[in-house]
Structure formats: C-alpha cells, structure tokens
Amino acid sequence: MTHKEATKQSLMKKHLTEEVKKKLAGVVTPSGFTLAQAINSGLVNEDSSVGVYAGDEHSYVLFAPLFDPIIEEYHGGYKKEDTHSADLDATKLVADSVDPDGSFVVSTRIRVGRNLKGIPFAPAISAEQRREVERRVVDSLSKFDGDLKGMYYPLAGMDEATRQQLVADHFLFKKGDRFLEAAGANREWPESRGIFHSADKRFLVWVNEEDELRIISMQEGGNVREVFSRLARAIEMLQRQLQFAYTEHLGYLSSCPTNLGTAMRASVHVKLPKLGKNEAKLKRICNELKLSLRGIDGEHSDSKGSVYDISNKQRLGISEVDAVNLLIRGVGTLIMLEKCED
C-alpha cells in the first residue's frame, strides 16, 4: 500500500475556510499556541489526512471553528452538543478472540493516549514540563506489580541497536516522524522520552511521544479479551495516581483530534493475502466496516507479506467496549471474505 496515493485532501485544508482563518487569526492559547502552529503539520506534509494538532486543552475551545468540523467528520458525525462516556468492562466483549481459528491474526494491540491535566500537549509543552511529566509517570509506574511490573528505559542514552530492535519488534515509537516534527512535538528529542515495559512486553507505556502517555497492551494471537482486560487494569491503576485531561464533551484529550474520546486504537495485525491483492477494494471494505487500514509498521507505512494493521477508526462518541466489539465483528467479516476469495 502506498499511503501517499491513498490520501486525499486533508480535513484541515477542507475546513480551513477564509472565514475560519479570519476568525482565528490572532487567537493564542494560554500556553502560547497559535493557528499557524496548529495547521503547520498539514501544510508541510501534503499527504496529511487530518493535518492539525492541538497544543493544549484550550486549543479545542479557542480553535473550535476549525477543530469542530474536523472532529465531526472524523468521528462519525459527533456534534458540539454530544457527550462522551467510557466503558472498560471486558466482560461485555462479544468474544474472547478476534480469530477463533487462530490462522489469520498475528497479534493484537490496544492503546490509549492520555495527557496530564493542566500541562500543554506535545506541540506546546516546555522542556521543564516534559521532565515533570516523565517524573510523575515513571513514579506512578514504579508502583505497579505482578504482570504489570516493569522497568522504564529512557530514550536518551539508549544504545542505537536496542532502540532499532524495539521499533522493529513493534514495541517502540519511531524517531523523527515528519508529521510530529512539523507539529513541534519533537523538540529537544530525545530528552524526557522513553518506554516502560513489563518483562514479557505485554504491557507498555510510551512517555512523551505524540501524547504524554500511550498506555499499551499487546500480545501475539487474537485473544482480545486478555489484551483489553490488561489494559483496563493498567488504566485504572494509573488513574488512581494521575489526573488526566478530560472533558464530558471530548472525553480524554489528545494532541491529535483523531484520538479524542476513548483515545483508543484497538488493532490486529492480520494476514489477508487474497484480499490484499486489491488494496483499494480492501480499503473500501474497511471503510464500510468503520475500520482503518494501516501498514505493518504503523501509521503511514506499507503492508509487508500481506499483513495489515486493522483498527477502529472512531474513538470519540463510542465506548471502549463498543469500539473493540466493532473490531471483533469487522475482523470476523474480513476473515470470512478472505476465506471466500479465490
């Protein structure tokens, strides 16, 4: 899949009308974030699908004339007056596994993004605030025990071979993402960034990447109930110690408007050799199933060996349980279609 071909005009370009531009010119959030900064990633990267980032929680209020229509279009018609609610009860999932035969799904991963209340997001955070986030998150994680017990590995000082291996094995974020770079989120790299993971690498937390926290649960195979339960336990433990940026309307606040609400992306790496022969068609089917199609190395990457990353598209206005159930049903349909192809 060549992602550049697959992308059309960004939501930012579509919704940044002359009227909106005029309204937002000169608007500055308390952390000093401007419209020019919010749209820079989409201007610099012409293949952006969304093209905007928020610098802080105030961005969603002050730049609402631009952000609201983007949010509405991305999150299935979510409106200004809508409210979001959470549900992390794993007993409500419709199945244990996304792939009961165990022949198509290579691995399952669910992550949520979180940012600390009152601290600007990656595009506008200061070096000192970033250090504070790292300190508070690592301190909270140090109290985890049992299967969630782990170690924090700062990026600064990590040897290059180890870093590359963690990225190649799908555990660690990439370096130098050009979308984040243009958003200002990579300033002072690699300071105060890092990864916490349990010994078996089934529970991981990314610190100070696109969001201040990315809480991740993953494992080989399709047992989505196990993955979801582990994530829910970890979120609850962290929530007891940290206060996250949250509103009733937008749920958990994230730097990218696609990650609002649940801030959750539940994904499988799934082998689809037959359907993969026609990627445009596969993408259309995924769209109809309200799923996103990515390549094997994450966003903006290509598929390798006919393995695709399939995940829930909508994250706001849908509960965590409903988003995972949508994935379970959608992947079930894709597997059925794959079996029927000749």
Neighbouring residues of 167: CB distance < 8 A, sequence distance ≥ 6: 173, 174, 175
Whichever of 111 and 249 has its CB closer to ligand ADP, that residue is 111
The number of beta carbons lying within 10 Å of the beta carbon of residue 83 is 11
Nearer residue to ligand ADP within complex by CB, 69 or 298? 298
Q: 212 an active-site residue?
A: no
Catalytic residue among 193, 230, 265, 315: 265
User: Does residue 5 have an active-site annotation?
Assistant: no
Which residue's CB is nearer to ligand ADP, number 65 or number 206?
206
How far, CA to CA in Å, does 75 sit from each of 46, 127, 137, 140, 333? 22, 32, 29, 32, 22
User: Min. distance of Cβ 179 from ligand CIR in angstroms?
Assistant: 4
Distance separating alpha carbons of residues 221 and 288, to the nearest angstrom: 25
Residue 108 touches ligand ADP, criterion: CB under 6 A: yes
Residue 216 has what DSSP assignment?
Answer: E
Q: Which of 77, 208, 66, 226 is nearest to 138 (CA)?
A: 208
Q: Of these partners, ligand CIR, ligand ADP, none, which one is at the site of residue 258 (CB under 5 to 8 Å by kind)?
A: ligand CIR
Is 12 in contact with 48 (CB distance < 8 Å)? yes
Taking a C-beta distance cutoff of 8 angstroms, is the pair 152, 252 a contact?
no
Is 262:319 a contact under the CB 8 Å cutoff?
yes
**Six token digits for residue 164:** 């590359």
Say which entry of ligand ADP, ligand CIR, none residue 267 contacts (CB below 5 to 8 A, set by partner kind): ligand ADP
> Which x/- pattern over 167-186 shows residues binding ligand CIR (rule: CB under 6 A)?
------------x-------
Q: Are 55 and 38 within 8 A, CB to CB?
A: yes
**DSSP one-letter code for 75:** T
Residues 189-218 that bind ligand ADP (CB under 6 A): 214, 218
Question: Do β-strands 307-312 and 291-294 pair in parallel, antiparallel, or remain unpaired?
Answer: antiparallel
Rounded Cα gap, residues 281 and 101, in angstroms: 25
Segment interacting with ligand ADP, rule: CB under 6 A, options 92-100, 130-138, 151-159, 265-273: 265-273
Is the Cβ of residue 111 or residue 202 nearer to ligand ADP in the bound state? 111
Among ligand CIR, ligand ADP, none, the one that 50 touches (CB under a kind-dependent 5 to 8 A) is: ligand CIR
Q: Scanning residues 197 to 256, which ones bind ligand CIR (CB under 6 A)?
A: 256
Residue 59 binds ligand CIR (CB under 6 A): no
Site string for ligand CIR, 30-49 (x = CB under 6 A): -----------x------xx
**Residues designated catalytic:** 111, 210, 214, 256, 258, 265, 294, 299
Interaction site with ligand CIR (CB under 6 A): 10, 41, 48-51, 179, 256, 258, 299
